[in-house]
Amino acid sequence: MTSDKRTALVTGGNRGIGLEVCAQLARKGLDVILAARNPTLGKKAMDQLERRGLPVALITLDVTDPRSIDRALARLERQGIAIDVLVNNAGVYPQGTALSSPEAHFRETLETHFFGPLRLSRALIRGMQRRKYGRIVNVSSGSGSFGEGLEGPAAYCISKAAMNALTFKLAEAAGPHIKINALCPGWVRTRMGGPRATRSVVKGAETIIWLATLPEDGPTGKFWRDKKEIPW
Ligand code: NAP
């Protein structure tokens, strides 16, 4: 089964890159579930997409809260919705060095960029394996790349490096039909990236969309920017 309509779940879908990914996947004809931790902000984003002629569904999901993840997954199961594409996009960017950052920053970034994606991926991969189709896109950062010098705030870099390692090990375990990749979107004009960033959200979403819709012979277990492989 490779040509049926696919369903995608995008975490942190209410603004920034995540919102643009929801829009572009919907435009490509996928059924999109916009996941947001704040239902009011999620509803605003959903309504905004609706006005653009891009209807999506909404689910409340805080990736740092295992109960919230489990509730969202149970709701999808009750509704008979199978997720074919998971975009682990939700992100936070606390400042500080390895010495100055409070331990809470390390916990928050690891919960957001590692444990949340781990729980969601493991739960959804089972169904993907049964259906012999799955795409998981981990929205990481060059800041998580040893090869690029782990440049940036310590907790953020360390958690994105953990997300990268998770990508590699999940891809290894999930088998050939599930394509699991990480990417850096570049420096993107969002609340996180700030107004001086060099890229639009449209450009920032480009490689995510490519990885979310890879063909059966597409790559897995790699790290990308602008559709080109970059070093872990
Ligand atoms: P953004 O505009 O700050 O948006 C972050 C999104 O993540 C928001 O929707 C936020 O929800 C959500 N989020 C944060 N914590 C969450 C949680 N616990 N549960 C669910 N959602 C949560 O950031 P962005 O620039 O679009 O970033 C998207 C991804 O790209 C991130 O993973 C980021 O690390 C990565 N990235 C961005 C850049 C850049 O230059 N912008 C560069 C490299 C990588 P709320 O609205 O509720 O806060």
The tens place of each residue's pLDDT in the chain, 232 residues long, gives 444 799 999 999 999 999 999 999 999 999 999 999 999 999 999 999 999 999 999 999 999 999 999 999 999 999 999 999 999 999 999 999 999 999 999 999 999 999 999 999 999 999 999 999 999 999 999 999 999 999 999 999 999 999 999 999 999 999 999 999 999 999 999 999 999 999 999 999 999 999 999 999 999 999 999 999 999 9
Other Cβ atoms less than 10 A from the Cβ of 31: the count is: 18
- Protein residue with its CA nearest to atom 10 in ligand 1: 12
In the residue annotation, 156 being an active-site residue is answered as yes
Q: Nearest Cα to 18, choosing from 152, 204, 224, 216?
A: 204
- Name residue 41's beta-bridge partners: none
For position 2, what pLDDT does the model report? 43
Sheet with 57-60: list strands edge to edge: 57-60, 31-36, 7-10, 85-88, 134-139, 178-183, 223-225, 228-229
Cα of 143 vs centre of ligand 1, distance in Å, is 14
Cα of 50 vs centre of ligand 1, distance in Å, is 21
Cα of 130 vs centre of ligand 1, distance in Å, is 31
- Is the CB–ligand 1 distance for residue 191 below 6 Å? yes
For position 4, what pLDDT does the model report? 72
From the list 133, 156, 223, 224, the catalytic residue is 156
Read off φ and ψ for residue 159, nearest 5 degrees: -70, -35
- Is the CB–ligand 1 distance for residue 20 below 6 Å? no
How far is Cα 113 from Cα 198, in angstroms, rounded to an integer?
23
- Protein residue with its CA nearest to atom 33 in ligand 1: 91
For position 54, what pLDDT does the model report? 98
Ligand 1 atom nearest to 63, measured from its CA: 19
Could you tell me the CA-to-CA distances from 114 to 24, 82, 155, 170 in Å, in that order? 25, 22, 12, 12
For position 1, what pLDDT does the model report? 42
For position 9, what pLDDT does the model report? 98
Other Cβ atoms less than 10 A from the Cβ of 148: the count is: 17
